[in-house]
Amino acid sequence: MMRQLIISSLLIGSPLFSHNAAAQAPLSLRGSDTLAPYMNDVIATSNLEKSVVYQGGGSSLGETAILDKTQHLAPMSRSFKPEQLAKAAAAGIQVAEHVIGLDGVGVFINESNSTPSLTLDQLKKIYSCEIKNWSEVGGPDRAITVYRRDDASGTTDTFKSLVGLTNFGTCAKVLTHTTDIATTTAAEPSAVGYAGLSALQDGNRDLPLAKDASSKAFTPSAENIRSFNYPLARRLYVYEAVGSLTPAEQTLLDTILDRSVSDPILMKHEFLTVD
């Protein structure tokens, strides 16, 4: 008995045991928080619930994880940054891009707010804290409470890029998840926040947006996103480190690229298919 205990102790401390234990641990997949509901359904459809856990957290976390080689598949709501692609190439990582769907960054306000629409310049001034009252943009005489997603979010990167915003003003309060933007704008009459279109719920509404003062304002409808008339329309991506996928990651990617399976899941979560 004593000899068996000693052998068991040696095995538990051995590299072989540690490797097997690590191999059984599920992959914690980082990436777009916007795509989290879609990814969770894809994981379930692929029968990978015991092999993969989708943690989300933001597109930049998925991008970084590919560079760190801690995962080889990254769902992202923005494109891979050029400087990060250069780092990947220098590290011998070939990154392949897959456009899996379309979406829009919605700008959400409380349904009681009468503001008719915004231009991108007005939106920029709200988020840089130059415009502070809804009455300055045709709305009620009420101070604006500004909310934004965090810096790890691909939605934040897309929003800043398309709006032309370099830095947020100090008035912009950080909310971590799309659901936080949804519930806050539905509850607070003075609130504004941007997020994926799934943030639309009872109590809030998405604002029509115009590129500039001389342009027509468009709602984030399917037609306007497909045509990119809506100024904050965007593509949704999955990136892979070519030749490095684990079996679970390959199964996941195969499901994502099988449009007969993936497209209905995208539409279920109010994203648009590529065509």
The predicted pLDDT at position 24 comes to: 61
Say if residue 244 is in the same domain as residue 176: no
How far apart are the C-alpha atoms of 163 and 121, rounded to whole Å? 7
Structural domain contains residue 5: no
The average pLDDT across 48-61 equals: 94
Range with lowest mean pLDDT among 81-90, 109-118, 149-158: 149-158
The domain in which residue 41 lies consists of 28-102+235-268
Do 203 and 154 sit in the same domain of this protein?
Answer: yes
Domain membership flag for residue 3 = no
Q: Is residue 86 part of a domain?
A: yes
Q: Is 42 in the same domain as 84?
A: yes
CB atoms within 10 A of CB 186: 19
The pLDDT of residue 10 is 37
Residue 17: inside a domain: no
Q: What is the pLDDT of residue 236?
A: 96
Phi, psi values for residue 237, rounded to 5°: -130, 160
Q: What 3-state DSSP class applies to 64?
A: helix
Report how far residue 196's alpha carbon sits from residue 67's, in angstroms, rounded to the nearest whole number: 26
Range 64-80 average pLDDT:
96
For residue 62, is pLDDT > 50? yes
Q: Which run of H or E residues covers position 73? A: strand 73-76
* 186 lies in the same domain as 239: no
Is 16 within a domain? no
For residue 275, is it within any domain? no
Q: Output the pLDDT for position 15.
A: 46
Verify that 228 and 114 share a domain, yes or no: yes
On whether residue 125 sits in a domain, the answer given is yes
pLDDT for res 152? 86
Which amino acid appears at position 28 of this protein?
S
Asked if residue 23 is part of any domain, the answer here is no
For 236-271, what is each residue's pLDDT tens digit?
999 999 999 999 999 999 999 999 999 999 999 989
Low-confidence winner among 22-26, 72-76, 98-102 (lowest mean pLDDT): 22-26
Q: What's the CATH code of the domain at 199?
A: 3.40.190.10
Q: What is the mean pLDDT of residues 134-142?
A: 98
Cβ-based neighbours of 214, under 8 Å, separated by 6 or more: none
**Residue 108 and residue 98 share a domain:** no
Residue 114 shares a structural domain with residue 88: no
Amino acid at 36: A
Q: Are residues 129 and 49 in the same domain?
A: no
Same structural domain, 239 and 229: no
Structure-block tokens of residue 42: 């894809």
pLDDT band per the 50, 70, 90 thresholds, residue 183:
very high
The residues that bridge with 195 in the sheet, in sequence order, are 106
User: How many domains does the chain divide into?
Assistant: 2
**Nearest Cα to Cα of residue 76 among 44, 51, 103, 53:** 103
Three-state SS at 111: coil
Q: What whole-number distance in Å separates Cα of residue 154 and Cα of residue 156?
A: 5
Same domain, yes or no: 210 and 243: no
User: Are 80 and 252 spatial neighbours (Cβ–Cβ below 8 Å)?
Assistant: no
262 and 202 part of one domain: no
Q: Which amino acid is at 195?
A: A
Contacts of 70 (CB under 8 A, 6+ apart): none
Check: CB of residue 220 under 8 Å from CB of residue 226: no
| CA distance from start to end of the chain | 67
11-49 pLDDT, tens digit each: 334 444 444 444 567 899 999 988 999 999 999 999 999
Cα-to-chain-centroid distance, residue 102: 12
